[in-house]
Amino acid sequence: MDQTLSGLIDIDRRAAVPLARQLYEQLRSAIAGNRLRQGYRLPSSRLLARQLAVSRNTVSAAIDQLAAEGYLDIARGRRPSIAAGLARPPASGVGGHASVAPLRLSLWARRIGQAGWPFASEAAARPFVPGLADARAFPHDVWGRCLRRAARSAHGRGSAPNRPALQQALARHLIEHRGVRTEPRQIIVTPSAQAAIELIARVTLDVGALAWLENPGYGGARVALEAVGARVAGVSLDRGGLVLAGRRDRPRLVFVTPSHQYPTGRLMPVDRRLELLRFAASVGAVLIEDDYDSEFHYERSCRRAWSRRSSARSATPGSSCRRPCRTPCRSSWRRVPMRLTFAA
56-68 helix and 19-32 helix, angle to the nearest 10 degrees: 40
Spatial separation of the C-alpha atoms in residues 329 and 322, rounded to whole Å:
6
Which strands sit side by side in the sheet containing 210-215, from one edge to the other? 187-190, 332-335, 314-317, 286-289, 253-256, 210-215, 231-238, 241-242
Q: First CA to last CA across the chain, in angstroms? A: 61
225: exposed, middle or buried (Cβ count in 10 Å: 0-12, 13-18, 19+): buried
Domain 19-82 has CATH 3.40.50.300: no
Domain boundaries in the chain? 19-82, 161-343
Q: What is the pLDDT of residue 148?
A: 92
Spatial separation of the C-alpha atoms in residues 101 and 303, rounded to whole Å:
55
DSSP 94: G
- pLDDT tens sequence across 42-92: 999 999 999 999 999 999 999 999 999 999 999 888 999 999 877 665 555
Spatial separation of the C-alpha atoms in residues 319 and 302, rounded to whole Å:
13
Q: What is the pLDDT of residue 103?
A: 81
**CATH topology of 19-82 equal to that of 161-343?**
no
Spatial separation of the C-alpha atoms in residues 170 and 109, rounded to whole Å:
32
Residues 67, 73, 78, 79, Cα dihedral to 10°:
-70
Q: How far is CA 31 from the centre of its chain?
A: 37
Q: Omega of the bond prior to 216 within 30 degrees of 0, cis?
A: yes
Cβ atoms 295, 268 nearer than 8 A: no
Quote the Cα angle for 307-312-314, to 5°: 40
**What is 161-343's CATH number?**
3.40.640.10
**Low-confidence stretches of the chain (pLDDT beneath 70):** 1-4, 87-99, 115-125, 130-133, 154-161, 294-330, 342-344
